[in-house]
């Protein structure tokens, strides 16, 4: 009987996975798999979940949001573990899983995973760390990092929006330098996002993203007047912002970002590295199950 390592975060979202554990195990047994569970908790790193991984494991199943998936992918890469990954989207932010077409219903998602064949998908690399959905810098990029975990689990995405409102007094233009073989930009911006996925905080920003094309989608919101921000925001809601002259948009597989500003970077909701940033697309960087 092949084994499945099941890594779950009991604190993700609204603790949804806790009421679904038996369902996850019973469906796997129905398909002829033995589930080996690992519970993420304070003081234990996700890396420890991989200590017993060997050739007897068919795949790794992770239940959590983008941050949990990101941490697991980094741990797998560090240990050179290349077996397929399955994702149960039960976190506050499930942007990457939603982009891959994975259903939120746990039983449906498990069956879709077990009935599929692994497909190679791209991942991003920022300096020496990997990301699955989005890397960002500029205004509001540390909102997720500063949002209280208990608040996040209690009221979900609303917690991010409330924390974002707190940072409005810090609204200012930021100096940035971007270099790639496609584009060079030296000027001011408000926000810069580098997408492997398509959405951030449920906003569909990288509308042309393709997780299997070998490219990252770069979207930079230029520093403009407050008056011009309102029509730009309307374009964002309509999905028409990529053609705006106030947005720099391009696809690339490698870029360098520098900034003298005292701003942080964010990788799938967690603190990222300091500048300068060397960001690459790793084509077929991981294999994922459940993609239709």
The residues annotated with a catalytic role in the active site are 270
- Residues in the chain, how many? 292
Tokens found for residue 206:
């990288």
Virtual torsion, Cα 180, 206, 199, 235, nearest 10 deg:
130
Separation CA 276–CA 220 (nearest Å): 17
Separation CA 264–CA 220 (nearest Å): 16
Separation CA 218–CA 206 (nearest Å): 8
Separation CA 238–CA 206 (nearest Å): 12
- Sort strands 265-267 and 33-39 into parallel, antiparallel or unpaired: unpaired
Tokens found for residue 48:
């420890």
Q: In this structure, what DSSP letter does residue 1 have?
A: -
Distance of CA 83 to the CA centre of its chain: 20
What is the DSSP annotation of 134-165? Answer: EEEEETTTTHHHHS-HHHHHHHTHHHHHHHHH
Radius of gyration of the chain (CA): 19
């Amino acid at each position: 009987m092949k084994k499945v390592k099941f890594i779950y975060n009991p604190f993700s979202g609204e603790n949804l996975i806790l009421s679904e554990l038996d369902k996850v195990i019973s469906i796997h047994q129905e398909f002829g798999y033995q589930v080996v569970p690992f519970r993420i908790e304070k003081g234990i790193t996700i890396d420890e979940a991989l200590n017993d991984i060997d050739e007897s494991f068919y795949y790794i199943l992770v239940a959590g949001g983008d941050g949990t998936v990101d941490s697991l992918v980094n741990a797998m890469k560090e240990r050179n573990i290349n077996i397929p990954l399955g994702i149960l989207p039960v976190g506050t932010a499930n942007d990457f899983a939603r982009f891959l077409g994975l259903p939120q219903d746990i039983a449906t998602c498990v069956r879709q995973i077990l009935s599929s064949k692994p497909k190679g998908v791209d991942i991003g690399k920022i300096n020496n760390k990997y990301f699955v959905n989005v890397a960002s810098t500029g205004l509001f990029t540390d909102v997720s990092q500063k949002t209280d975990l208990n608040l996040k689990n209690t009221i979900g995405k609303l917690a991010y929006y409330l924390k974002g409102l707190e940072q409005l007094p810090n609204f200012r233009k930021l100096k940035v330098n971007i270099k790639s073989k496609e584009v060079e930009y030296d000027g001011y911006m408000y926000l810069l996002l580098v997408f492997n996925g398509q959405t951030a905080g449920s906003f569909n920003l990288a509308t042309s993203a393709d997780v299997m094309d070998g490219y990252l989608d770069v979207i930079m919101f230029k520093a403009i007047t407050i008056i011009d921000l309102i029509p730009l925001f309307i374009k964002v809601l309509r999905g028409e912002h990529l053609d705006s002259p106030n947005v720099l948009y391009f696809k690339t597989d490698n870029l360098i970002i520098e900034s003298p500003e005292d701003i942080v970077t964010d990788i799938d909701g967690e603190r990222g590295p300091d500048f300068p940033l060397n960001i690459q697309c790793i084509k077929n960087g991981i294999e994922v199950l459940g993609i239709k």
